[in-house]
């Protein structure tokens, strides 16, 4: 079953722009990525980039990658991965950055993203390092955590008189 699970892991990572990374301490976070050269490749930890702190994403560390189903959104497959940090301006780094910059949405400095990533961010490869878990091997619970506290609030209802003020017609006599 290993070849089928490996193919499922690759296909799920290719089709989804988001994977969940679970660090050694159990902390989880969704991160955008690209599937490049047989591994999940991601960039982060710089200004205007996704935070990678708290997940144990150090060079040589082991983490768990969870991929979801593109159509249903539920957990589809999980696999252990070994983290490799690519050295800026190396050949592997350039190849990975070429893939990443094509998928990076809303970059303010799209033409200078590689230079900024070389200076301020980390580019990581998460290479499969063990057997993928599918179906019954996945946890049965939702593994959800309460959202962090925030000062943000939901919208308040519009004042009752607002529609009359906005849509009234002027009558001239």
The model's pLDDT over 135-169, given as tens digits with 9 standing for 90+, comes to 655 666 766 677 778 887 777 777 788 777 777 76
Query: Which tokens hold the place of 38?
Result: 């047989």
**Domain residue ranges in the chain:** 2-139
CATH superfamily to which 2-139 belongs: Electron Transport, Fmn-binding Protein; Chain A (2.30.110.10)
pTM exceeding the 0.85 threshold for the entire prediction: no
Count Cβ atoms within 10 A of the Cβ of residue 35 and give its class: 0-12 exposed, 13-18 middle, 19 or more buried: buried
Q: How far apart are CA 85 and CA 77, in angstroms?
A: 24
79-108 residue pLDDT tens: 999 999 999 999 999 999 999 988 888 877
DSSP strand pairing (18-22 vs 28-32): antiparallel
31-65 residue pLDDT tens: 999 999 999 999 998 888 899 988 889 999 999 99
What is the DSSP annotation of 83-119? EEEPPTTSHHHHHHHHHHHHH-TT-TTGGGHHHHHHH
């Amino acid at each position: 079953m290993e070849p089928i699970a490996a193919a499922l892991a690759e296909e799920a990572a290719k089709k989804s722009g988001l994977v969940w990374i679970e660090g050694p301490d159990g902390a989880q976070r969704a991160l955008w990525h690209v599937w490049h050269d047989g591994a999940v490749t991601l960039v982060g930890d710089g200004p205007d980039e996704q935070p990678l702190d708290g997940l144990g994403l150090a060079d040589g560390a082991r983490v768990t990658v969870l991929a979801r189903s593109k159509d249903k959104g539920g957990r589809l497959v999980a696999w252990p991965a070994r983290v490799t940090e690519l050295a800026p301006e190396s050949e592997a780094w350039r190849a990975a950055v070429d893939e990443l910059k094509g998928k990076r949405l809303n970059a303010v400095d799209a033409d200078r993203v590689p230079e900024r990533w070389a200076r301020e961010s980390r580019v990581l490869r998460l290479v499969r390092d063990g057997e993928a878990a599918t179906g019954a091997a996945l946890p049965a619970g939702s593994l959800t955590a309460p959202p962090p506290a925030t000062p943000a609030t939901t919208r308040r209802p519009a004042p009752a008189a607002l529609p009359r003020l906005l849509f009234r017609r002027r009558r001239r006599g």
